[in-house]
Chain A
Amino acid sequence: MSKTHVTTVVNDDPVEFLTDPSTTLLDALRDHLGLTGAKEGCGSGDCGACSVIVDGRLVCACLMLAPEAEGRRIETIEGMAQGGALHPLQQKFLEHAALQCGFCTPGILVAAKALLAENPDPSETEVRYYLAGNLCRCTGYDKVVRAVMDAAADLRQVRRA
């Protein structure tokens, strides 16, 4: 089967690649573009470790085919820190020790970013339900939720200023 040519935008950069049409977006990001931040934890959309944002919408990259990225804007964990500065979510995760092995962390950060774009002032319950699609086996979620709420507070302050 011949390969499909895909043109898309990833983290604000225009990119092109050739791919087997049945390749997932996750595998295309990891294997064709070298962006290994998104992880495969299950391959079936149940763990959220491959979370990316596509045209502003939170998506499991393992459930999307690479050719579907054509003409879309994709945001991955690699685009979260800007110009040498960590995103407030990333900074808060470090301060709150909200990661242990770190494998689920890219996915959770992308999901949290999508959450705060939709809802800048979430309650603890809202954070927990929004992140219910991101499995973490190490932390028990306590420090993750604290970090997200702390970052949300910071971002609201910045917006007000």
Chain B
Amino acid sequence: MPHVVITGAQGREFTGGAGEFDVAADTVRRMIIELDDRFPGFGEFIDRRMAIAIDGEIHQDAYAAALRPDSEVFLIPKIGGG
């Protein structure tokens, strides 16, 4: 199952401080839905505010991005630029 880690403190207000989860999902969208079921509001928060690094590659706004069974997923704040 994909292993999801929250980097930093943002988002942990939804999870009661927990920062790591196993999620049975094969796409980013399904991961968001499952995390929102587990921690109401968290999925919405990820959707709006976070970028998702899947096996080292950063994705922003990527519902269809695939998660493999052994994917390493990191949630980091969305990145802008100048």
Say if the two chains contact directly (CB < 8 Å).
no
Give B residues with C-beta under 8 Å from A.
none
Give A residues with C-beta under 8 Å from B.
none
